[in-house]
């Protein structure tokens, strides 16, 4: 499936939206790395990918999309899985060994960075152990990640990717999707709200520094 750029999204440097492919893995990792904590200076990009993007390229390509430039290189993505509970189990089996190996490498090569981030990285899915998050996964079983390279932001690609992904999830029959966003990221929260997401959980519900937002399929 490929979506050509609509005239309403000009002027911009992206050209199309398509399903993610295996060949996109490093480009998707680069996008994730470039938006990690506001910059691309983290010394081990593959670890960022293992934590937040690689799984979708390898195991959920039928529900994940990239926006590409004129060279067909991914410059933004909308990644998703339709069953978060199944994802968590599979992620633990497929990605945890890679994450553990990368953390060992990070500790050896950049001990101060390891000390800063190791705890967070080892508990990347800790919120899903909360009872209220288990209910979210029942009511909004899919989850999504949307990121755009800084140089391609503000050009309509994020909106196009989000619309494309949500239409796909709706047509696939997914009853709802959720996402997690930093509660200080007012721009992103407003953007997700404009796409139909509402705040389900916040810091008072045991989700420190974050909002869990959800959207039900249209006409459910």
Each residue of 89-125: pLDDT tens digit? 999 999 999 999 999 999 999 999 999 999 889 888 9
Can you tell me the mean pLDDT for 145-160?
93
pLDDT tens sequence across 121-145: 988 898 999 999 999 999 999 999 9
Q: What is the pLDDT of residue 71?
A: 94
* Residue 158 CB-density burial (10 A; 0-12 exposed, 13-18 middle, 19+ buried): buried
What pLDDT sits at residue 198?
97
Helix/strand/coil for 138: helix
Residue-number span of the structural domain to which 192 is assigned = 2-216
Summarised one tens digit per residue, pLDDT across range 6-54 is 434 444 589 999 999 999 999 999 999 998 875 667 899 999 999 999 9
Predicted local distance difference test score (pLDDT) of residue 7: 37
pLDDT digits (tens, 9 = 90+) for 179-215: 999 999 999 999 999 999 999 999 999 898 999 999 9
Instruction: Please state, in angstroms and as integers, the Cα–Cα distance from residue 114 to each residue in 15, 43, 72, 109, following that order.
Output: 38, 10, 35, 9
Number of structural domains (the chain) is: 1
Which residues make beta-bridge pairs with 66?
18, 77
Q: What pLDDT score was predicted for residue 39? A: 65
**Confidence check: pLDDT of 69 > 60:** yes
CB atoms within 10 A of CB 45: 17
Q: Which pLDDT score, from 0 to 100, does residue 12 have?
A: 52
CATH code: domain of residue 197: 3.40.630.30
């Amino acid at each position: 499936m490929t979506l050509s750029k609509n005239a309403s999204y000009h002027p911009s440097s992206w050209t199309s939206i398509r399903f993610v492919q295996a060949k996109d893995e490093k480009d998707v990792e680069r996008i994730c790395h470039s938006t990690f904590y506001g910059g691309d200076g983290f010394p081990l990009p593959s670890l960022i990918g293992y934590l937040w993007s690689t799984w979708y390229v390898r195991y959920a390509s039928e529900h994940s999309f990239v926006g590409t430039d004129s060279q067909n290189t991914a410059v933004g993505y909308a990644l998703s899985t339709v069953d978060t509970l199944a994802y968590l189990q599979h992620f633990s089996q497929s990605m945890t060994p890679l994450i553990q190996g990368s953390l060992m490498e990070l500790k050896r090569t950049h001990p101060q960075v390891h000390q800063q981030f190791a705890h967070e990285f080892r508990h990347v899915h800790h919120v899903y152990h909360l009872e209220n998050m288990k209910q979210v996964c029942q009511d909004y079983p899919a989850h999504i990640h949307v990121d755009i390279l800084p140089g391609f932001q503000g050009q309509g690609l994020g909106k196009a990717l989000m619309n494309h992904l949500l239409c796909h999830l709706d047509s696939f029959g997914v009853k709802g999707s959720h996402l997690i966003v930093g509660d200080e990221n007012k721009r992103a929260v407003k953007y997700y709200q404009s796409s139909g997401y509402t705040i389900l959980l916040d810091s008072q519900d045991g989700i420190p520094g974050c909002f869990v937002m959800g959207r039900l399929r249209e006409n459910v």
